Amino acid sequence: MNIVALDGYTLNPGDLSWGALETDNTSFKVYERSTRQETLERAAKAEVLLTNKTVLDREIIESLPDLKYIGVLATGFNIVDVDAARERGIPVTNVPGYGTEAVAQHVFALILALARRVEHHAQRVRTNGWATSDDFCFWETDQIDLEKKNLGILGFGNIGRAVARIGSAFRMNILIHSRSHPRNLSSAYEFVDLNTLLTRSDILSLHCPLTEDTHYLMNQNAFERMRKGAFLINTGRGPLVHEGDLADALKDGEIAGAGIDVMEAEPPPPDHALYQIDTCLITPHLAWATQRARQRLLSVVIDNLTAWLAGQPQNVVNSVSS
């Protein structure tokens, strides 16, 4: 079995083991990353392709006569033309749920950083702001207590539920909006319409899928409906937010801050407008990347491939007929 991982570095920069794929019965080659031309060359004789963000479109899939299986090293699989794979009888698998706790924890890392302006004050200590203060304590921004604040959660899948659970531990009021009313919703949570979510949330965290309906859902109109002191958190998908409108909303004081881990273009350009806004914290798409979450991801990737080889495929996203 000829297995090629086209862009394995982000999953495993060296602190995990590919050993389960390196057996006497396999030829396994992992590349840190691959351009389109390199993909065509490196995948030419592959029977199994593993990809994270390397695009496998129809042209590439149709040019690989030996290809039998595609494993996505992530939950999202939009980088693969699943229809083209289905037409060839090639199953495409993904890894759902591996980073739920890691992402939910990062949501609160961003929330707390905004509420207490941790980065700003740590830097001011280094520049002697505290050392030259007349008082034993020193702060330059409002210090915000999360208790009794309204935490709005847009999308209530696994990560949204984990965020709600953590928010409850901070004694926040939890507001939920999703495409359908969740079953067995805790009586401690309030299900509201989208407009109510926007107008009542002190902190709005995005966890909905990216669709035609949610693309640029957070735009000028949405920001104008939010509270002046509200924070926006996006660890979901970059294009949920119109970044130009977000920059304007922050500059104009329509909202008080934003914590962003995903952006429309990744990596973003070096002159991005949001970089110059002090109330916008941007982390480089690392919410998912704890070692524990990456180990879980790799384990499921291996399990998916093993199940397919055994004739019992799992986590298939394109319903290939046997």
3-state SS string for 93-136: ECCCCCCHHHHHHHHHHHHHHHHHCHHHHHHHHHCCCCCCCCCC
Positions marked catalytic = 237, 266, 285
Q: Which two tokens stand for residue 204?
A: 């709005």
Query: Rounded to the nearest 5°, which phi and psi values hold at 211?
Result: -135, 180
Query: Rounded to the nearest 5°, which phi and psi values hold at 99?
Result: -115, 20
Amino acid type, 320? V
Give the start-end residues of each E strand in the chain. Answer: 2-5, 27-30, 48-51, 69-72, 92-93, 150-154, 173-177, 189-191, 203-206, 231-234, 257-260, 280-282
| Rounded Cα gap, residues 253 and 259, in angstroms | 15
Nearest to 159 by CA among 208, 229, 220, 87: 208
Query: Rounded to the nearest 5°, which phi and psi values hold at 72?
Result: -90, 130
Nearest to 108 by CA among 165, 158, 156: 165
Q: What are the helix and strand counts (H, E) for the chain?
A: 10, 12
| Rounded Cα gap, residues 177 and 111, in angstroms | 19
